[in-house]
Structure 1
Amino acid sequence: MAARPDVRLLDAGDSAVTLEFGSQITPALVARVAAAEQALDAARARGLLPGVVETVPTFRSLTVLYDPLVTRRAVLDAQLHALLADAGQAAPAQARHWRLPVCYGGDFGADLDAVAAATGLSPEAVVQQHAATPFTVYMLGFMPGFPFMGQLPDALSVPRRREPRVRVPAGSVAITGPLSCIYPWESPGGWNLLGRCPVPLFDAAAANPVLLAPGDHIQFEPVSADRLAALDADLRAGRLMPHSFLQAD
């Protein structure tokens, strides 16, 4: 069977090939990437795909890393085409549900008023829509623990800032295009800042350093500045743990 014609196999050096499923960020493409990764994982579990070392998913593509001393690109391409032809929908994962506090606006959301002006909404309506949106973690990238989350309502879709900030505070909740994120570290960044979340997303001393994972569901809960300060103090002192914000099924 031939692979779907809208999947492209692209060179990614001498030991990797990228499967490109499209050019946009949509839930449907994210699901196709997940289905392809599941198909490859299942094949590897059955002892197929010798030489495949790792797969790296993104919003719209899946990179397959392989050992060129074990398999050849021509052989791998044929195997991938066959797997893609038979791949269906990704099986539903056991998603975790998080309710994360956010203090919107003021010193914590420097771009809230600008986003409101760009979308024709009031700042209060921007906060309401963002907090009411059930987000899914699509992927992690940019820096350790950084979650790319979708799908933002079209009414809140705004481009990146023309001039990125040199320093975005850790915990900043931001949006651009169809996505929202939380900055786990202080870093440069060009997304539009709406608020601040006190929950640390990365702990190098933990058994699993990264708090969130692809497929996790996120709901934001607006809190006051005083509540943000109290939560931050409790988290720093160890009186409250990051997993306290994980919701029971």
Structure 2
Amino acid sequence: MRVLRAGDAALLVETDDLASAHRLDAALRDARPAGVVDVVPGERTVLVVAEPGTDMDRLAGALPALPSPEDAEAGAEPVEIPVVYDGADLEEVAELTGLSADEVARRHSDAWYTVAYLGFSPGFGYLTGLDPVLHVPRRESPRTAVPAGSVAIAGRYAAVYPSRSPGGWRLLGRTAAVLWDVERDPPSLLRPGTRVRFVR
């Protein structure tokens, strides 16, 4: 773990891997140190934001000593996302990978995923665990509008678009699952460390 200053009232913690970042995020949720107002996990980093005037050296020293759970999502039920595999890019992904469209859908739905981090738009989870055969590049020309609920892949990640937005990921299908709902607590269906299954 490497702790760096990020301005006057924040620390950026660099971790060795995704699991370590998730454990630190969980530890900070379970026992938030005095003065900490926000925690923003990334794939191998955690940004810890504090109130102005917080003793940042003391906070930096306290972070490595936090009790860390072995598994940030131990015992948590996986989120199951039902998918209809009829996406606009399904056939193109099949061509790029040398698979049939049905095999692309099967490999995508057979995998277990973990939410690495949230970004791009509220509720948009970057999911690791995609079958390496399905690692395809983003589209050369992004779409100006991708419908909410679009199930997509790009590079080594899978995702679901929580709302209508521009995007360049390859669309495999669609889901009726609501990824972001401001009336829900918490609003995001996904959070870092959540395990995810796509169900055909």
Equivalent runs, 1:84-233 vs 2, <5 Å: 89-90=70-71, 92-105=73-86, 109-222=87-200
Q: Among 14, 23, 28, which residue is 2:8 paired with?
A: 14
1:96 corresponds to which letter in structure 2?
E
Q: Among 40, 60, 63, which residue is 1:77 paired with?
A: 60
Q: In structure 2, what is the Cα distance between the partners aligned to 1:184 and 1:91?
A: 24
Structure 2: give runs of 5+ residues left out of the alignment: none
CA contact (8 A) 2:38 2:49 kept: yes
Q: Among 31, 42, 45, which residue is 1:61 paired with?
A: 45
CA contact (8 A) 2:9 2:53 kept: no
Aligned-pair Cα RMSD in Å: 2.4
Q: In structure 1, what is the Cα distance between the partners aligned to 2:29 and 2:195?
A: 23
Structure 1: give runs of 5+ residues left out of the alignment: 1-6, 23-28, 223-249
Q: Among 17, 20, 23, which residue is 1:32 paired with?
A: 20
Per-residue Cα deviation, 1:31-77 (whole angstroms, up to 9, x for no partner): 11122233444553xxxx43222221111110011123131x33333
Q: In structure 1, what is the Cα distance between the partners aligned to 2:142 and 2:198?
A: 24
Paired-residue identity, %: 43
Structure 2 length as normaliser, TM-score?
0.86
CA offset at residue 175 of structure 1? 0.6
Structure 1 length as normaliser, TM-score?
0.71
CA contact (8 A) 1:173 1:197 kept: yes
CA offset at residue 143 of structure 1? 1.6
Q: Hey, what does 1:4 align to over in structure 2?
A: none
Give secondary structure in 2 for the equivalent of 1:93. coil
CA contact (8 A) 2:41 2:192 kept: no
